[in-house]
A and B are shown apart, each in its own frame.
Chain A
Amino acid sequence: MHDAVTTDALPTPEQMRNYLAAAKSAQKARRLQEASRAIITGNIAAAVCLMESALVVQHAGWTSNTGRMLVLDGVIFGYIALAVLSLRWMKRQRSWSSVYVLDQFEAQRVPAKRVRAVAMLIFVFMALGTAVALWTIDVNRLSQSAIIAVLSVAPLAAVVFFVCRFVMFRFWEDLLFAAAVALAYLSFPFQAWHLAPLCLATFPMVIVGTVFLHFRWVRWHRASAIQNDESVSEEVRL
């Protein structure tokens, strides 16, 4: 197809500069792609914080048994509604703009295929249902430390996830999400129920993180829209 360049020579300073410039642009693209999906990151953080807060509220004795069930149902359905609304809002926002970027999963149009999307949702709910059922059966046979160890897996994984994201993308918002998850779960392993109200502070933290992350994208988007204003109108004429 092409004549390949065979070389034994070391790269020239100009070639090194080109490579570094490409690496810098790639990093910028990676960061912007993540910032454009702030709502998804925020939803992940919110889901984990909700899970941990529900656990803490259940054990802190804030409500009666019936009250607990109502709170849990409200939390689950409220979260699902919030996730659906957020994703719809993100989709609409993208359709308005001429500057957009999709990750590889989205670009393969997996969620666009309804049957696959529904199958994925059914699988997730069945997996969750099975986990809850197994937990209910086994919870009485487990020791207190084993229960704490099992329940610590999700918040630990979430904290590691957000810290890794911080290392990769250098967004301080990821550290805020990690802190929110840790704060939501803090009172459970130490059984320090007087710290339970702290879990309420995690939601403003998640909201603040999501808003700031989203505004990184908005700021860049506006700046590039001004810069490309002439380019866009040229593209219309094409």
Chain B
Amino acid sequence: MSDAQSIVLDPVIHEAARLVIVSVLNECGAASFNFVLSTTGLTRGNLSAHMVRLVASGYVEESKQIVDRKMLTEYRLTGVGRKAFAKYRVEWMRLTTEPNGRAI
């Protein structure tokens, strides 16, 4: 395969846990920490660590507020994050599709 055809996968999204997180957030406008925790099946510490990385990359926006004396954390995918995930999916489809257009 030539350089022009090389497939570029975003390493921030390509990691297994972050791929699940971004896929879930891509389906929602905004979701609480506990929603993401339950739908992804990750542990709390694992999810927190990956969220830090995603927030630092500018793919996810985090907001915290205190409701009824509880800290509620809300996450949403930013415009940059949505674009990056869309690009990742296009690249992934290219990777998993043979040159004649058949899926592997």
Contact = CB atoms under 8 A, between A and B. Distances in A.
Interface string B2-35: 0001111111101010011011101111111111
Contacts, number: 133
B69 to A, nearest CB: 7
A18 B76 CA distance: 22
Interface string B63-86: 000011111110010000000000
Given A29-B31, A32-B39, A235-B71, A6 B16 contact: no
Interface of B: 1, 5-12, 14, 16, 19-20, 22-24, 26-35, 37-41, 44, 57-58, 67-73, 76, 92, 95-96, 104
Given A98-B34, A103-B29, 8 more contacts: A6-B6, A7-B6, A29-B27, A95-B67, A102-B30, A106-B29, A107-B30, A231-B44
Contacts of B96: 10-11, 16
A99 B71 CA distance: 12
A19 B70 contact: no
Q: Is the interface of A mostly helix, strand, loop or mixed?
A: helix
A232 B19 contact: no
